Amino acid sequence: MIVTTKELFKQAYGKYAIGAYNINNLEQCMGLFRGNIASKAPFIIQISKGARSYTNKLMLEGIIRAADQVFPEAIFAVHLDHGDEATCMDCINSGFYSSVMIDASAKPFEENVAITKRVVDAAHAKGLVVEAELGQLGGVEEHVQVSESDAKLTDPDQAKEFVERTGVDSLACAIGTSHGAFKFSGTQGLHFDVLAEIQKRLPNFPLVMHGSSSVPQDEVRRINIAGGKLAGAKGVDADQFLPAAKLGVTKINIDTDGRLVWCRVHREHFILKPEDFDLRPAGKEFMAAYADFIADKNVKLGSAGQLDAVRAALA
């Protein structure tokens, strides 16, 4: 059942965070649903602009609609990740998405407010909810590289003004994470002090943490042994998810970790079975590994085991 992120946030706020997982293809979709059902978790499917154009936006939409039928017990939101204004409008008018993210965080504050407000007005008129971003994460996103020194933490006072002026439903805050597999060059971590200040000014308002992959060191080691070159890759400590949730982080975005699972499974598969050229055995291994990965992640997020309570609240 497709619901809005707002409905999920109402149940989760202050207690746990909902996993927001990016997918691009059939195998990721299948593993995602299996892992969430196995761990009894509500979840958010994220579709980026790149994912929409990887094959065709209608292909991914068709796969997700089919998964909704194959797994009737699933409760999830369908969310555009890092949209520009035109893509947001396309998704709002598609009748498929339940929420969109407008990411005008690279623009000056006033421009970010104006663009976000236009998207909020269009989305709310059709019953969709909107996430926006203030501050700037480091890392790679849509092929744009933002260096650690150019990344800007969210200003708590500006966050309050931004939310009041735009009417947005949730806010992605920059609190020290970055996109991709190389998050921290040194010993930096999350800025819980900044998060606490934002929550103080925006009580009961859902905050979003992007760039939250943990980049498991065992996964990196196995990829490198199997021929990969990911030396120095580093992510967010998953034990920080629940403390962040207590401070208002209600949606936690994870993409890179799923890519690492895909990379590890396929590298190891073809090294161990060099005679193999059929795509299905490796695809099956990936779906099983991705489902296990999702179920484990949901335990860290606190969303595992919440599905029945969410279903009861929505009834």
Q: Which two tokens stand for residue 255?
A: 């993409």
Helix crossing, 256-272 with 279-301: angle to 10°? 140
142 binds, among ligand 13P, Zn ion, ligand G3H, none (CB under 5 to 8 A by kind): ligand G3H
Q: Are strands 144-146 and 178-179 parallel, antiparallel or unpaired?
A: unpaired
Q: Is 210 in the site for Zn ion (CB under 5 A)?
A: yes
Q: Is 183 in the site for Zn ion (CB under 5 A)?
A: no
User: Could you tell me which stretch among 47-55, 123-131, 241-249, 280-288 binds ligand G3H (CB under 6 A)?
Assistant: 47-55
Q: Is 212 in the site for ligand 13P (CB under 6 A)?
A: yes
Partnered with residue 2 across adjacent β-strands are: 76
90 is catalytic: no
Partnered with residue 136 across adjacent β-strands are: 152
Helix spans in the chain (H) = 5-12, 26-38, 49-54, 57-70, 85-94, 109-125, 156-166, 192-201, 217-225, 241-246, 256-272, 279-301, 307-314
Residue 166's identity, in one-letter code, is: T
Check 68, 81, 150, 237 and give the catalytic one: 81
Q: Using the minimum distance from each CB to ligand G3H, give the nearer residue, 148 or 161.
A: 148
- Coil, strand, or helix at residue 36? helix
Site for ligand 13P in 8-27 (CB under 6 A): 22
8 Å CB contact between 183 and 222: no
Site for ligand 13P in 37-96 (CB under 6 A): 81-82
Q: Using the minimum distance from each CB to ligand G3H, give the nearer residue, 5 or 22.
A: 22
In the sheet that holds 144-146, the strands lie side by side as 144-146, 138-141, 178-179
155 binds, among Zn ion, ligand 13P, ligand G3H, none (CB under 5 to 8 A by kind): none
Question: Alpha-carbon distance 41 to 126, whole Å?
Answer: 27
User: Could you tell me which stretch among 46-54, 123-131, 280-288, 294-302 binds ligand G3H (CB under 6 A)?
Assistant: 46-54
169 binds, among Zn ion, ligand G3H, ligand 13P, none (CB under 5 to 8 A by kind): none
Count of residues that bind Zn ion according to CB under 5 A:
2
- Cα-based distances in Å from 280 to 13, 269, 277: 40, 11, 9
Active site residue ranges: 81
Contact footprint for ligand 13P (CB under 6 A): 22, 81-82, 179-180, 210-213, 253-257
| Footprint on this chain of ligand G3H (rule: CB under 6 A) | 22, 48, 50-51, 81-82, 141-142, 179, 255
